[in-house]
Structure 1
Amino acid sequence: MESSFNEQFDQYGVWRRGFAQQLNALREWLSGQDLLDFAVQQRLQRLEAQVRSDKLMVAFVAEFSRGKSELINAIFFAHYGRRLMPASAGRTTMCPAELGWESDARPSLRLLPIDTRESMESLAQWRMRTDAWVEYPLDVANAEQIADTLSKVAEVRKASVAQARAWGFWHDEDADDNPLQDAEGWVEVPMWRHALINMPHPLLRQGLVILDTPGLNAVGAELELTVNLIPQAHAVVFVLGADTGVTKSDLAIWREHVLPAGGEALVDSRLVVLNKVDTLWDSLSTGSQVQAQVRRQCEESARLLGVPLERVLPVSAQKGLVAKVGDNAALLQASGLSAFEQLLASGIMGQRQKVLQAAVAANVQQLRTEVERVINIRRSDLDDQGAELRNLRGKNATVIASMRGRIENEQQEFDSSAAKIHALRTVQMRMLKDLFQLLSSGTLQKELGELKDALDQRGFKLGARKIYTETFERLHAVSDQAHKQAANVQSMLSATFKELNAEFGFSLQSPPPMLLPEFTDDLRSIESSYTQYLGFGNALKLSSSAFSQRLIKALAMRLRTVFESAANDVDLWSKSVTAPLDAQLRERKRSFSRRLEAIDRIQHAATGLEERIGEIEAAESKLDILQVQLAKASVSLLSPLDEEHVPAQATALDISLVA
C-alpha cells in the first residue's frame, strides 16, 4: 500500500535523525584521525544544518467556507479525536496562521493585532518584536483547551470604512468584494493580522510547517503572504467547494496568488481539492450518477484552472475526519481523503525528498573529496619519506649527516614560500572584497532605488512596470558580474598554485569554478512572481501609497535573503578552494619535523632506520584502511530514504569507524 502523507513524513523524519547520528559519528571519527581540517569542518556543518533545519511548508489556500480548516484537521489532527482548527459553518480562519514547532519557545498561540497594518513595518520585522504579539499558552495534553485557544484565529472586530481601507479590507474601486456595512456604517474585519501556532505535534517537530490562509480579501491585503510565503511553499493545496465549483473569487485567488501567469513550472507543486463532495451524495441518485457528477466537476475545475485532471481530487474532509476518529475504513475510502494524502505524499513529499537528497548527495561527495584530499597529501608525504629512508640503507654516518643538512635546506626553502602565500592571501581577500560588495545589501539597495522612487510617487504609477523590468536587468547583470569576479579569483588561484607547485614542490590542483545556480534561478523566480502586481490590472491598487510601499519592502526582503545566501555560498567556496593549501602547509611542517626526528634516531641507534621504515609502512596501511572506512561512511550517509532500517545504519557506521 502507498503510505499516507503523515506516514511518509514520519519516515522522512526517521531518515533525517539517522543521518544526523551518522554525521555526528563521522565527525568524531574524523577528529580522532586528525582529518578534521577547516574545510572538512565547514562541509560537515553545512550538511548538518541543511538536514536539521530543513522545513517543508504546505500552504492551504481557499476562499472562505471551502472547508480548508476541516481538511487540515482531517489530515493532521484526527488523532486528537476532535477538531483543533476552527471549522464551523461560515467564516472561520480570519487571519493567516502558521503551524510549526520551535523548540526554544513554549507551546503557544501568538497573535499580531490587525492595527499593526497602520505601520509600514513589514511582517518579518514584526516577527522580531515579541512584545507586539498577544500570546496564549497551549496545554498540549488537553485537546479541548487547544481547540478553545485556537478558536481565537476566527475573532473579528468592528472598524470604520476608513480603518478598513487603511488595513486593506476596503477597496473603493471594487465595491462588490467589500465587507457589508451595518446600520451604523461599521464593517467587520479580522481581529488579528497573523497567527503563529507553536505545537510539539510529531510532524511539526520534524520540520513540517502548515500555512492556513483566509479568503481573497484577507490574502490580498497581506503582501508578504502573497509574494513571499505562498510562492516559497513547497506545496500549495487549493481548496474548492464541490457544491460551488470554480467561482469568480476562486479563480481570482488562483490566478493572482496560487498559479499566476508565467508560473507553469509550479504546476507540479500545486494540488486542487474539490471538497464537500458529500453534498453531492444524494439518496435520489444512483452511485454511478453521483460519480459522474463528481467527475464532471473535477473536469470543469481542471479546465478552468489549467491543471491536469489527475491533480484535482474529490474529497469530503468532514467525512474523512469522522471516519478517522471513528475508525471507519469504508467511510474513509468513500471520503477520498486517503487518495489525496497518497498524492500529497508521493508527489509533493516525494519531490521534496528527492531535492534534499540530491543536495545532500552532492555535499557528501564534496565532503568525501575534502577528506580524501587530506589522506592523499599524507600518503604522498609518507611515500617520499619512505623512499628517502630506504635510500639510507647501508650508508655511513657522513651520508646520513648530509641527508640532515639537505632536509634543513628544504625546510628553509619551504619557509621562504610564506611570503608568496601571504601575497596570495592578500590578493584573494581584495578580490573577494569586490565580490562580496556585489552581493551586499548596499548594492541591492542601490539597484532598487529607482524602483522605490517610482513606487513612492503619488497617484498612478504607469511607468513602474518598465522600471521594474530595468531593475531586474541590472540585478541579473550583478549576478553575471559576480560569476565573472569569481572566475577571476579562480584564475588567480590556479596561476599561483602552479607557481607554488613549481617553486616549492606543492601538489595543488586548480580549484573548481564557483557556481551560483540558485542565485540566478531565484532572481528569475522573484521577477516573475512580482510582475503581476505592476500590471494595468493592479493600477488602482498600486496607486495606494500603503500598497506600493509594502510591495517594495516585501520585494527587498526576499531579494536580501537571496543575496545573503549567495554571499554565504561564495564564502564557503573561497574557504574550500584554499583549504588544500592550508592542509599541505600543515602536513609539510609535520613532515619536516618527522624527517629530522627520524634522522636523529638513525644517528643514535643502529635499529632506528628499520624501525622508522616500519612505522611509515604501518602508517601507509592505516591510510588505506581510513580510505575504505571513509567510503563505507559515505555510502551509509547516502542510503535511500525509504530504507526501513535507517537507525540500524547509524549504529553500523559507529561500529565500522571504531574498528
Structure 2
Amino acid sequence: MSEEHLLKTSPILQGLRALNGWRQKVIDGLHEMAALTADLGLLPSGTMLQLETLAYETEQDSLRIALVGEFSRGKTELINALFFADMGARLLPSSPGQTTMCPVEIRGAPQGRPGLQLLPIASRSLDVSIEKLKRAGSAWTRLPLVLEEKNERCQALAHLTETLCVAIEDARRIGLCPPLNRTPKDRERTICPSCGLGKVLIPRWRHALLYLTHPMLDAGLTVLDTPGLNAIGAEPELTFGMLADADAIIFVLGADTGVTQSDLTIWEQYLMRNAHQKQIVLLNKIDTLWDELRDWSGVVAEIEQQVDKTAERLRIPREQVIPVSGQKGLIARIRQDQKLLERSGMAALERSIAEVLLPARRAAIQARCRVLVERAVVDQKNLLQEQMNRITAQIESVRSLKDRTAEKVLELVAQHQRLLQSFEQDRHAFEGKKAAFRQAVEECLLVPLAPASFDLVISNAKAEMLSVWTTAGIVERFRLFFAEVIAHFDKAQQGAQQVSALVAGEYQVLQSRYRLPALRTVPYAIMPRRTELMDMAENYERFGMKLEIAVNTQSAVVRKAFLTVASRTRDFVVETRREAETWVDEIMAVMNQQLQVFHDNAEEELNALQSIAQTVGNIDTRIQQLRQSLQIVQEQMARLDHYSAPLLHLLREALSTAP
C-alpha cells in the first residue's frame, strides 16, 4: 500500500476535502451574490463589501484542532499517527526522553515552502502578544526544513525539545518559577542535575510555527500541540487565546495513569466550560494494558472499565471518551496493518474526527454566513417587489387616463409638480438635520466606545493588578475591570436607542407624508454584544480564580494574563464600535437611497404625465415603456432567485446531506 493510498483511506482527509469542496461552493456563491448586489444597485455598497469580506474570511477558514494534556501523555505521537503516518516515520520527535517543550502550531506551507520558526523564551519579558510577534519576523529564529531528507528533517525538528539551564532568579523574572515566598521549603535550593545548585531547566523556545506541505494541511487543517499543565498556566495567551479560539480540543489522558489530579485541573480550568468547542477525550497508551498471557476479552473489559471511570470522573458522556494507542496506531498505519489499526482505536478516532469535528466546522461556517446572505436576499427581494407593485399600479393608472379628459391630465401634472416641490423642501430640511444626527451618534454612541477610554481603564487596572498578591484580589480586579467595560457598553446601548429614536422619528415624518418604504436596515442591537462580553467576563474571572493553582500568582504571569485579557477585550470593544459606525452609515445610506428613489420615481411620473398631456397618443407608448420596465424588474428578481437559491441551500441544508 503506497503513501498516497494511506491518505486516500484516511476518513479525516476525505472529510477535509469534502468540507473544502462545500466551502468553495459557498465562496463562489458569495462572490456571485456580491457581484449581483453591486449590479442591481438596490442596497448600499457596504453590503457588497460585507459579502466580499465574508467570502475572503471563509476562504481563509481552517479547522483548528488543539491537543491538550499533561506531559508524557503521548500527544505528539498521536499527531504523528493521526495526520502524518503517510510520511513513513515519525514526523515530530516523540521517542522516549524526547518531548516538545513549547506549543507548536502546524500549518500548511505558504507557497509550498516548508520551514520552522522558533520564538526565543526571552520574549516572555516583552509585553507583546505572540499574535503580534508573528508579524515581527525579526523576533523569530527561522530554520529551513527539507521533508524528503529524514536525517535533516529530524535534526531540524529536534529543536522543539531543547531546554536551557538558567539561574532560578532569571526563570522567575520571566514567570517560569514561583516567587520565593511561594516556593516549598524543600525546593528553595533548587539543583539542576546538569548545572548545579540554584539552576533550573526551562524550555529554550516559547512558541513554534511549523509549516509543512501536506494534503491535510493544504485541505484546511491547523494542529496545535501543547506541552503540559505548567506551560498552559505560565502562558496566558495560550489559555485565553489559542485554546479558546480552537474549533476542537482533543484532551489526552494516559490509560496507565487514569485521570490524575493535574489532568483534572486542566479539564476543569481550561476546557470543560467552553460550550462553543467540540471536545474529544482520548485514553491513550491502552497498549500498556495489553497482556499476551491474558484472554483478549479480559483486556477489552479492563479498557472499557477505564473508559467508564474516565467518563464518570470528567462528568461527560461515555461515548465522548475514546481508548487509543497512538504508538500502535502509527505502526499500524506505516505497516498497513488494518487489524492492528482497529485494535489500536485509531480507526475509531479518525471516524470520530470526520463525523463530529468536521460537520461542526461546517455548521459554524453556515451560521456565520447565513444571517448576512438571508438579509441581503430578503432586502433586495422586498425592494424589487415594491418596484413591481409600483410599476403595475402606474400601468393601471395610465390606462385609466384613456377615459379622462385633457383637463384632468393637466390637473394631475399640477398635483405632481406641487408634490415634487413640497418633497424637495422637506428633503432639504431633512438634509439639514443630518449634522445633528452625526453629532448625536458621536456623543451618545461612539464616545462611550472610544478606544482611548478603554486604554485608560486598562492602564489603571494594570497598575492595580501588579500590586495584588492574593487570588481574591486578582479575581476582584478582573471583576472591577469588566464592570467598567460593561458600564461603557450600557452607556453606548442607551446612546444607540437615542440615536435610533432620533433618526427614525425624523424619517417617519417623510415616510408617512410621501408613503416611503420603511427602513429595512436591521436595527443595531448592542445587547447581544453585551451578552457576549458578560460571557467573556465570567470565563476570565473563573480563570483568575484558578490562577493561583496554575502559576502561584507570580507577578510576571499575572501581568501577562491581564494584558492578554485586556488586549482581547479592547479588540472586542473596537470591533463593536466599528459595527456601530457601519450601522449608522448603513442607515444613512438607506435613507438617502429611499429619498432619491422617491424623487426619481416622482420626476419620472411627472415627465410621463407631461408627455401624456401633449398628446393622448403617448398613453399607449407610456404603457409599453412601463411594461418594459416591469419586465426588467421581473428579470432582476429571476436573477436574484437563480443566484441566491443554491447559496441559501448550501447554508441551510442539514449536515446529513453533506457530501
Please, what TM-score do these two structures have when normalized by structure 2?
0.87
> Does the C-alpha gap of structure 1 residues 360 and 125 become closer, same or farther in structure 2, counting only changes over 3 Å?
closer
**Residues of 2 paired with 1:140 and 1:412: CA distance?**
76
Q: Kindly state the Cα deviation for residue 225 of structure 1 after the two structures are TM-superposed.
A: 0.7
**Residues of 2 paired with 1:388 and 1:457: CA distance?**
79
Identity %: 28
- Decide which moves more: 173-182 or 626-635: 173-182
Given that 1:65 and 1:89 are in contact with CA atoms closer than 8 Å, whether structure 2 keeps it comes out as no
> Does the C-alpha gap of structure 1 residues 200 and 484 become closer, same or farther in structure 2, counting only changes over 3 Å?
farther
Mind listing any 5+ residue stretches in structure 2 that lack a counterpart?
1-8
Aligned to 1:27: 34
> Does the C-alpha gap of structure 1 residues 218 and 468 become closer, same or farther in structure 2, counting only changes over 3 Å?
closer
> Does the C-alpha gap of structure 1 residues 16 and 618 become closer, same or farther in structure 2, counting only changes over 3 Å?
same
Aligned to 1:633: 643
Equivalent position SS for 2:16: helix
> Does the C-alpha gap of structure 1 residues 280 and 350 become closer, same or farther in structure 2, counting only changes over 3 Å?
same
Q: Kindly state the Cα deviation for residue 528 of structure 1 after the two structures are TM-superposed.
A: 2.9
Q: Kindly state the Cα deviation for residue 237 of structure 1 after the two structures are TM-superposed.
A: 1.0
Q: Kindly state the Cα deviation for residue 585 of structure 1 after the two structures are TM-superposed.
A: 2.7
Structure 1 residues 490-536: Cα deviation after superposition (integer angstroms, max 9, x where no partner) = 22233222101133442224754323465234323322333245438
**Residues of 1 paired with 2:114 and 2:144: CA distance?**
6
Q: What is the one-letter code of the residue matched to 1:436?
A: L
Equivalent position SS for 1:57: strand
**Residues of 2 paired with 1:79 and 1:607: CA distance?**
81
Q: How does 1:135-284 map to 2 (within 5 A)?
A: 135-139=142-146, 146-171=153-178, 172=180, 173-174=182-183, 180-185=192-197, 186-259=199-272, 263=273, 265=275, 269-284=278-293
Matched, 1:118 2:125: yes
**Residues of 2 paired with 1:593 and 1:179: CA distance?**
90
**Residues of 2 paired with 1:314 and 1:10: CA distance?**
27
Given that 1:282 and 1:290 are in contact with CA atoms closer than 8 Å, whether structure 2 keeps it comes out as yes
Aligned to 1:92: 99
Aligned to 1:71: 78
**Residues of 2 paired with 1:566 and 1:473: CA distance?**
17
Matched, 1:341 2:322: no
Given that 2:102 and 2:203 are in contact with CA atoms closer than 8 Å, whether structure 1 keeps it comes out as yes
Q: Kindly state the Cα deviation for residue 322 of structure 1 after the two structures are TM-superposed.
A: 2.4
- Decide which moves more: 160-169 or 61-70: 160-169
- Decide which moves more: 143-152 or 192-201: 143-152
**Residues of 2 paired with 1:84 and 1:520: CA distance?**
45
Q: Kindly state the Cα deviation for residue 550 of structure 1 after the two structures are TM-superposed.
A: 1.0
**Residues of 1 paired with 2:521 and 2:127: CA distance?**
46
Structure 1 residues 80-138: Cα deviation after superposition (integer angstroms, max 9, x where no partner) = 33322222223421111112348589543211111111223332332232211112234
Given that 1:111 and 1:195 are in contact with CA atoms closer than 8 Å, whether structure 2 keeps it comes out as yes
**Residues of 1 paired with 2:109 and 2:618: CA distance?**
61
Given that 1:465 and 1:534 are in contact with CA atoms closer than 8 Å, whether structure 2 keeps it comes out as yes
Equivalent position SS for 2:250: strand
- Decide which moves more: 62-71 or 48-57: 48-57
Which of 436, 453, 473 aligns to 1:463? It is: 473
Q: Kindly state the Cα deviation for residue 442 of structure 1 after the two structures are TM-superposed.
A: 2.6
Q: How does 1:242-641 map to 2 (within 5 A)?
A: 242-259=255-272, 263=273, 265=275, 269-383=278-392, 385-393=394-402, 403-433=412-442, 434-457=444-467, 459-460=469-470, 462-509=472-519, 512-516=522-526, 519-535=529-545, 538=548, 541=551, 544-592=554-602, 594-595=604-605, 598=608, 602=612, 608-638=618-648, 639=650, 640=653
> Does the C-alpha gap of structure 1 residues 637 and 482 become closer, same or farther in structure 2, counting only changes over 3 Å?
same
**Residues of 2 paired with 1:528 and 1:119: CA distance?**
27
Structure 1 residues 349-404: Cα deviation after superposition (integer angstroms, max 9, x where no partner) = 33332233133222221111221243134334424543453344366766656655
**Residues of 2 paired with 1:492 and 1:115: CA distance?**
54
Given that 1:79 and 1:325 are in contact with CA atoms closer than 8 Å, whether structure 2 keeps it comes out as yes
Matched, 1:13 2:23: no
**Residues of 2 paired with 1:183 and 1:511: CA distance?**
68
Aligned to 2:6: none
**Residues of 2 paired with 1:144 and 1:644: CA distance?**
45
**Residues of 2 paired with 1:524 and 1:76: CA distance?**
37
**Residues of 2 paired with 1:585 and 1:3: CA distance?**
58
> Does the C-alpha gap of structure 1 residues 537 and 545 become closer, same or farther in structure 2, counting only changes over 3 Å?
closer
Aligned to 1:649: none
Structure 1 residues 168-201: Cα deviation after superposition (integer angstroms, max 9, x where no partner) = 3323435599884435334322111111223454
**Residues of 2 paired with 1:326 and 1:607: CA distance?**
89
Q: What is the one-letter code of the residue matched to 1:419?
A: H
- Decide which moves more: 12-21 or 80-89: 80-89
Q: What is the one-letter code of the residue matched to 2:196?
A: E
**Residues of 1 paired with 2:433 and 2:289: CA distance?**
74
Please, what TM-score do these two structures have when normalized by structure 1?
0.87
Equivalent position SS for 1:489: helix
**Residues of 2 paired with 1:181 and 1:431: CA distance?**
68
- Decide which moves more: 354-363 or 577-586: 577-586
- Decide which moves more: 153-162 or 590-599: 590-599
Equivalent position SS for 2:402: coil
Equivalent position SS for 1:463: helix
Q: What is the one-letter code of the residue matched to 2:492?
A: A
